[in-house]
């Protein structure tokens, strides 16, 4: 769908019946939750890889080279394929997160909350400043939040066109996200989540060694606190009519904060699954997807741009939310099937191999370890 529909569900498409339920469940259970999980795992990975590299005596060089390549991959991904890239942000935030890797879990959590509060505070500050703004001053903001029909039509036409037709609008959106969007929002949120992930890794949360009761507590926190807070925020947004002076700033706050609680609930679910031997076939498939996270991330882009953009099937703007869930399930099923098969023969995913080879500046072995 057009970009505005991601943040403002009333901007485009049917929002009733099954489509409303799909949006609601996606918003409550997924939107910002899996970004939070992956950001936390990225932070955990920095601690893990730095400790391994320190044994070789050059952790900083390898880390900064690794993050530098990720920034380049993100730039290429965003401008050439899909503007909503996150690799660029992870690379830049990863450079900064590395400086905090030796802090204690308590200090990491406190610092993480501080960084997370910056984005939240900036949104509240901007929202407050707009409350008495004259209508003329809100014109551009309204156009971005709830685009008029000609703007929607132009975006749809561009993405249903060829790759060169898509390039100007895609690159413009990517540039905005990687500059003002990054400095205003993404930097503080992603960096805060990375530090939180470092703390959770040091506390043993991500390796399924904590008690069953601990993980049940995470699930309860997400279900009993996180979900109701997000649902309340949804209700307030609908009550305001998704008004531009409210929803992007004040109306986004419940999901901004409570998404972390729901993300931790998902962590609890996965850790309990890892503790259950009878679920080993499922967790092995999920682990294979995780080991190929970079390759699978780009594969999703290639699959979905082929389905929706004009150089492929050109279905951009034509598939309602119910149909989109079918696309999600199909892509998941494909990656769950392909990843274990690939790793049966190779040690890394193709892009993981490339990234690793560039980081160490020598070709890495590609065949499976014996």
Task: Supply the pLDDT for residue 140.
Answer: 87
Is residue 172 located within the same domain as residue 245? no
In a domain, 72, yes or no: yes
Is residue 250 located within the same domain as residue 300? no
Is residue 194 located within the same domain as residue 309? no
**For the chain, counts of helices (H) and of strands (E):** 17, 0
279 neighbors 307 (Cβ within 8 angstroms): no
Q: Is 344 helix (H, G, I), strand (E, B) or coil?
A: coil
Task: Supply the pLDDT for residue 55.
Answer: 60
Is residue 74 located within the same domain as residue 201? yes
25 neighbors 176 (Cβ within 8 angstroms): no
Task: Supply the pLDDT for residue 136.
Answer: 79
Torsion of CA 260, 266, 215, 257, to 10 degrees: 10
Is residue 242 located within the same domain as residue 350? no
Return d(Cα 193, Cα 33) in angstroms, integer.
Answer: 11
Is residue 44 located within the same domain as residue 119? yes
In a domain, 9, yes or no: no
Q: HSE of 263 in the Cβ direction (CA atoms, 13 Å)?
A: 23
Residues of the chain with pLDDT under 50: 370
pLDDT in tens, 89-144: 999 999 999 999 999 999 999 999 999 999 999 999 999 999 888 887 788 899 99
Task: Supply the pLDDT for residue 16.
Answer: 97
Domains in the chain: how many in total? 3
CA nearest 14: which of 330, 327, 315, 317?
A: 317
């Amino acid at each position: 769908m057009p970009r505005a529909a991601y943040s403002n569900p009333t901007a485009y498409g049917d929002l009733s019946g099954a489509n409303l339920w799909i949006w609601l469940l996606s918003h409550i259970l997924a939107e910002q939750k899996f970004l939070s999980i992956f950001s936390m795992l990225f932070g955990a990975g920095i601690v893990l890889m730095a400790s391994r590299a320190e044994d070789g005596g050059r952790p900083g060089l390898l880390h900064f080279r690794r993050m530098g390549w990720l920034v380049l991959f993100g730039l290429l991904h965003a401008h050439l394929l899909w503007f909503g890239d996150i690799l660029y942000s992870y690379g830049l935030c990863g450079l900064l997160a590395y400086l905090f890797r030796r802090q204690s879990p308590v200090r990491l959590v406190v610092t993480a909350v501080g960084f997370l509060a910056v984005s939240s505070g900036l949104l509240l500050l901007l929202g407050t400043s707009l409350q008495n703004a004259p209508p003329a001053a809100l014109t551009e903001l309204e156009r971005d939040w709830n685009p008029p029909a000609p703007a929607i039509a132009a975006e749809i036409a561009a993405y249903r066109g060829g790759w060169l037709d898509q390039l100007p609008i895609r690159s413009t959106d990517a540039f905005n996200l990687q500059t003002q969007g990054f400095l205003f929002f993404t930097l503080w949120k992603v960096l805060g989540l990375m530090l939180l992930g470092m703390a959770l890794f040091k506390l043993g949360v991500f390796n399924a060694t904590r008690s069953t009761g601990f993980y049940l507590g995470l699930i309860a926190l997400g279900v009993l606190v996180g979900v109701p807070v997000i649902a309340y925020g949804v209700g307030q947004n609908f009550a305001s009519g998704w008004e531009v002076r409210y929803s992007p700033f004040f109306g986004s706050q419940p999901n901004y904060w409570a998404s972390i609680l729901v993300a931790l609930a998902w962590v609890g679910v996965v850790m309990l699954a890892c503790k259950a031997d009878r679920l080993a076939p499922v967790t092995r498939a999920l682990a294979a997807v995780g080991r190929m996270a970079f390759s699978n991330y780009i594969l999703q882009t290639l699959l979905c741009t082929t389905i929706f953009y004009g150089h492929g099937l050109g279905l951009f703007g034509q598939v309602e939310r119910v149909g989109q869930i079918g696309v999600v399930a199909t892509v998941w099923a494909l990656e769950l099937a392909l990843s274990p098969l690939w790793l049966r023969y190779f040690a890394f995913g193709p892009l993981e191999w490339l990234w690793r080879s560039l980081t160490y500046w020598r070709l890495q072995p590609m065949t499976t370890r014996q």
